[in-house]
Amino acid sequence: MTELVAALDVDAMISLEHVSKKFSGNIAPAVTDLTLDVPQGEIVVLVGPSGCGKTTILKMINRLIEPSAGTITVAGHDIRDLRPADLRRGIGYVIQQVGLLPHRTIAANIATVPRLLGWDNARIRGRVDELIELVGLDDDMRDRYPSELSGGQRQRVGVARALAADPPVLLMDEPFGAVDPIVRGRLQQELLKIQQTLHKTIVIVTHDIDEAILLGDRIAILEIGGRLAQYATPAEILANPASDFVADFLGEERGLKRLSLIELRMLDIPPGPVVERTDTAATARRTMSDHRTDWVGILDGRRLLGWAWERDLPVSGPIDGVSPREFRATLPSTATLRQAVDAVVRDHNQVAVVIDGDRYVGMLFVDQIAQELQR
């Protein structure tokens, strides 16, 4: 691991050059002439149908499988020049089945690699405490055994164990595939949160294109035989699929998938039909007419109090006596356009209110989201 850490100034933390793998007894190769660079500090997702060599590629990176041809470098080092044990101690590895040692406590499982590296007990305890908090586990779980934890909790322990020796590289093979969709979503968000803090170089294998789009800074879409069909950012792939194979793999909802990459704070969101609570009923009705609505939002400075039907307003005079109704669809500015679509569909007024903390930002309507789909 020391050799890997010494080369952290490289641009491509992992580099595969013309890498192929053919298993004995098989006519077709598992991986064919693959050239791919994984930039330092990014998440790269390998995705494709069964039999496209995703897991084989991951195993070749940490020398669980040797390539038949080509060169793989990690942190600037040809992995053939490193002892496999030294290489793997510098690479965290997370698999779908987690692979925790059932006879060891959670704390002991997390401490596996630091103990192999000869860390002293105080340093190990401190690191275990740090990681239990980092992955969102309760402190009292440290003395439990894997069989006493849920699938999602065991997966968190697997991630903590992989991070224990602070490796520069993390390999994850279908890390969340064995848990239910709700837990899976939470674990995905937890990984993104951890990555914002740690900035590891992470390679993830998945068969789920939505997971790839959510997690990946870059996505490598592979065809059968480990042939690289396209390697680019999620936005680039969704906007410009390189082939019919890539377009078919992305699915018919490619436009909706693009919306998940656009955060609301990236948009120029209009204020919508809103008035100050100190305004008059005439001003409110004029605002509704301008926006062709039968309701109006009511502001108190930078804070949105709610909305009111036209019939709720007084005949004349100020509207400060009106009791605003609560908007059901309110989103933070960090939410995505895809989340806005869900919110608009669920809202009676077919509008999503966008806020930044307590500050009102604006409103999104269906037609505005449709415009983004067409870009």
Mind listing the pLDDT tens digit for each residue in 31-49?
A: 999 999 999 999 999 999 9
* Local confidence band at 78 (pLDDT 50, 70, 90 cut-offs): very high
Residues 83 and 208 in one domain: yes
Q: Is residue 122 part of a domain?
A: no
> Would you call 353 exposed, middle or buried from its count of C-beta atoms within 10 A (0-12, 13-18, 19+)?
buried
What is the rounded average pLDDT of the residues 40-65? 94
State which amino acid sits at residue 245: F
Q: Which of 186-190, 195-199, 247-251 has the weakest average pLDDT?
A: 186-190
pLDDT recorded at residue 268? 87
* Residues listed for the chain: 375
Q: What is the DSSP letter of 263?
A: B
Highest mean pLDDT among 94-98, 104-108, 250-254: 104-108
Do 76 and 36 lie in one domain? The reply is yes
What CATH number corresponds to the domain at position 354? 3.10.580.10
Among 204, 232, 261, identify where a domain stops: 261
- Please give the pLDDT value at position 8: 54
Domain for residue 367, yes or no?
yes
Tokens of 69: 């041809």
User: Taking a C-beta distance cutoff of 8 angstroms, is the pair 287, 296 a contact?
Assistant: yes
Residue ending a domain, among 235, 261, 287, is 261
- What is the DSSP secondary-structure string of 189-254? HHHHHHHHHH--EEEEEES-HHHHHHH-SEEEEEETTTEEEEEE-HHHHHHS-SSHHHHHHH-TTH
The band of 101, judged by pLDDT with boundaries at 50, 70 and 90, is confident
CA distances from 85 to 58, 79, 113, 174 (A): 16, 11, 11, 23
DSSP state of 71: E
Is 82 inside any structural domain? yes
172 & 222 share domain: yes
Residue 141 lies in a domain: no
Domain match, 237 and 315 both: no
DSSP 169: E
| Residue 127: inside a domain | no
Residue 40 falls inside a structural domain: yes
Any domain includes 95 = no
Q: Are residues 251 and 323 in the same domain?
A: no
Residues 248 and 273 in one domain: no
The token duo for 111 is 């401490």
pLDDT mean across residues, the chain: 88
Name the pTM for this structure: 0.77
Per-residue pLDDT at 246: 95
Q: Which two tokens stand for residue 141?
A: 């779980």
Query: Which of 214, 244, 261 is the endpoint of a domain?
Result: 261
pLDDT band, very low/low/confident/very high, at 191 (cuts 50, 70, 90): confident
The pLDDT value given to residue 2: 47
Residues 253 and 303 reside in one and the same domain: no
Do 288 and 273 contact (CB within 8 A), yes or no? yes
The number of domains in the chain is: 2
* Same domain (yes/no): 243, 273: no
Residues 275, 182 share a domain: no
Mean pLDDT of 97-122: 86
Statement to judge: residues 6 and 66 lie in one domain: yes
Phi-psi region of 287 (alpha: psi -120 to 50; beta: other; left: phi over 0): alpha
Rounded Cα distance between 339 and 32, Å, is: 39
Gap between the Cα atoms of 230 and 237, Å rounded: 8
277 with 257, same domain?
Answer: no
Query: Range of 183's domain?
Result: 2-90+167-261
The residue written with tokens 């909802």 in the block is 253
Measured distance CA(31)–CA(22) in Å, rounded? 7
CATH number at residue 20: 3.40.50.300
pLDDT in tens, 280-316: 999 999 999 999 999 999 999 999 999 999 999 999 9
Report if residue 252 sits inside a domain: yes
